[in-house]
Structure formats: structure tokens, C-alpha cells
Amino acid sequence: MVNTFIFGHKNPDTDTIASALVMQDFQTQLGNDVQAVRLGDVSDETQYALDYFKVDAPSLLDTPLAGKEVILVDHNEFQQSADDITDATITMVVDHHRISNFETGSPLYYRAEPVGCTTTILKKMYEEHNIEIKPEIAGLMLSAIISDTLLFKSPTCTEQDIKACEALADIAKVDLNEYGLEMLKAGASVKGKSPEFLLNMDAKSFNMNDKVVRIAQVNTVDVNEVLDIQEEVKNVINKIIAEEKYDLFVFVITDILNSDSTVIALGSEQQAVEKAFNTQLENDIAVLPGVVSRKKQVVPPIDELLGK
């Protein structure tokens, strides 16, 4: 059995799944015995990318991590990682998020850059090691960049992400706009999905000082598909808050065509959202114009209030 697992965060998104598969290819080409795994279900958007480039999804992690070495991609915060992550030896991290609730006992290889997508960093690593990027690996990389930057519209998107994505499109032989919009749409259909499903699709927890904040996000081309079932959604959020003892739950419904978000905020720290975004919640709901990035536009202002 392989001794080194590679995985991204819980509630895997396209960057997390793609980065694990890309890192697996990278390490394998370096002669290392590794296996990409995932910590949750593959989203419709990610499945679209995997099908398009004919790559199998990684299998679900089903082995205890005690005694194993692990490579983390696209995350570092332990509460977003495997439940028994502290039993493993983390030898490497490649990520593009803030660093928090992360520690190791020994030195490791850690590479984080403030770019829009993990695969933008991975592409550099291929180049630094003179390793060829195969078309299907390029396809996974560009899918991750399109997903994380909402086709370059997110403020997290950097010039490096755009340049990398364009170069990858040449290798994978796809039209970025056409393929990208189809992929995003494949993941943006919320119609017919249960509130429980929507609230867990892409949700992350954040420790901010002594508060625990849960921030879930969905992409859609029609916000009303969610707002039509807002009462059910709120009931489920309140149930989750009671069960998991969250101080704040923010559900970010992002309109990928208009590049703004509607949020539903509940919990004892609900007012932090009003202060953070200088807005008023009406029926626990507010529209945040221009906000599309959890990492860059939602977490920092809330952390500024609660995390100090």
C-alpha cells in the first residue's frame, strides 16, 4: 500500500480535486509513490471537467492516517482537512489560502502564493523541474483556475492565473471562454437540490478567535432558485448552528453572470455581517454587490471583526 496520500479540503471543489490529481502526476513523474484521494463527494462542476478530459476522480480516503505521510493541496487549516490529520506527518503543502490552525512538528516543504488558484503554483513547479504537462493534466489545471477565479472575474484572480490558464489552454486545446462557461454552468444548477445539499456543497469552517464561523457558498445563474426556498434553507441553517455550535453561519449565493452575491446570515454573531459589509440584513438576507470571493471578500472583513 502506498505510504503517501495527497488530498485537498473537505467538500472538495474543482481546484482541490484537480490539484490532488495534478500533484499525484507531478510526484509520480519525480519517481515518488503517492496516491491522490478525496475527502468528500465530487461536485457536478468537477465531474464535468473530469469527464471532459477523461480523468477518473480520486477515490475517497478510507484509511486511518496514523503512520502515513501526507501532501496537502489547496488548504492548510486542520478543521478543513481529514479528521485525523494530526496523526499524519505532513511533508508538503501547496496552497493559496491564509495560514491558520496549522502546525507541524518538523520542517516541511510549504509553498503558498497569493494567487487565485493552487494549480497556478503547481504549473510553476512543473516548469521549475522541467516536467512535461500532458494535455489532460493541463485540462485539470485550467479547469481549477476557471473555477476558482469564476473565469477571471474574481478579485482573487491575478495576472499569473490568467497567463497560466491561457498557456494551459494551448496544451489542452480548448477555447477558454466556451469551455469555462459550460463548466461553470454545469456546477451552477441549484434547482431541485435540497437545502442540506446546497449548504454542504462548498462549506468551510473558520476559527476566528473564540468564535467558529461556517461559510457556505453556491454558484448559480439564477439567485431566485435559492431565494424561492429561503424559509426551508433558514430552518436547516438554524438546525446546523444548533447541532454544530457555530457562532455564525453565512450562506453566500453567488451569481456567476452578474458577479455579485446574496448572503443569508444566521447565528448569535449575525450582526458581524452587517458591520463587516456595512449593510442591513432584511429577513436575514443582504445583497453584496461585487462580492464573489469567500477568501478575499467574505472571510477577511468578518475575521477583522471577530478574529481580533
Cα three-residue angle 1-112-81, rounded to 5 degrees: 45
The answer to whether 107 contacts a copy of itself (rule: CB under 8 A) is yes
**Interatomic CA distance for residues 129 and 124, integer angstroms:** 9
CB-nearer residue toward a copy of itself: 113 or 255: 113
Judge contact between 66 and 89, C-beta under 8 A: no
Answer yes or no whether residue 214 interacts with a copy of itself by CB under 8 A: no
Amino acid symbol at 219:
N
Q: How far is the CB of 303 from a copy of itself (least distance, A)?
A: 5
Does the protein bind a copy of itself through residue 110 (CB under 8 A)? yes
Say whether residue 62 binds a copy of itself (CB under 8 A). no
State the residue for C-alpha cell 503558498. 112
| Site membership for a copy of itself, residue 31 (CB under 8 A) | no
We find the least distance from the C-beta atom of residue 183 to a copy of itself, in angstroms, to be: 24
Question: How far apart are alpha carbons 163 and 158 in whole angstroms?
Answer: 9
Answer yes or no whether residue 75 interacts with a copy of itself by CB under 8 A: no
Radius of gyration of the chain, Cα coordinates, nearest whole angstrom: 19
Distance CA 85, CA 64 (A): 9
Judged by CB under 8 A, does residue 304 bind a copy of itself? yes
Cβ atoms of residues 266 and 249 within 8 Å: yes
The least CB distance from residue 19 to a copy of itself, in Å, is 15
Answer yes or no whether residue 64 interacts with a copy of itself by CB under 8 A.
Answer: no
Residues near a copy of itself (CB under 8 A), total: 27
Q: Confirm or deny that 210 is annotated as ligand binding.
A: no
| Sole binder of a copy of itself in the list 29, 111, 222, 279 (CB under 8 A) | 111
Task: Consult the annotation and say whether 148 binds a ligand.
Answer: yes
260-266 vs 89-95, strand pairing mode: unpaired
Sheet of strand 248-255, all strands in order from the earlier edge strand to the far edge: 203-208, 211-220, 248-255, 260-266, 285-288
List the x/- string, 77-96, binding to a copy of itself by CB under 8 A.
Answer: -------------------x
Give least dist CB 290 to a copy of itself, A. Answer: 18
Residue of 228, 242, 148, 222 whose CA lies nearest to 195: 228
Does 303 carry a binding-site annotation? no
CB of 90 to a copy of itself, least distance (A): 9
Q: From the CB of 295, what's the least distance to a copy of itself, in Å?
A: 7
CB 215 within 8 A of CB 298: yes
Q: Considering the rule CB under 8 A, would residue 210 count as an interface residue with a copy of itself?
A: no
Give the nearer residue to a copy of itself in terms of CB position, either 96 or 123. 96
Count of other CB atoms within 10 angstroms of residue 126 = 19
Pairing of strands 69-73, 89-95: parallel
Q: Mark the binding-site residues for Mn(2+), compressed into ranges.
A: 9, 13, 15, 74, 96, 148
- Residues near a copy of itself (CB under 8 A) are 96-114, 128, 295-296, 299-300, 303-304, 307
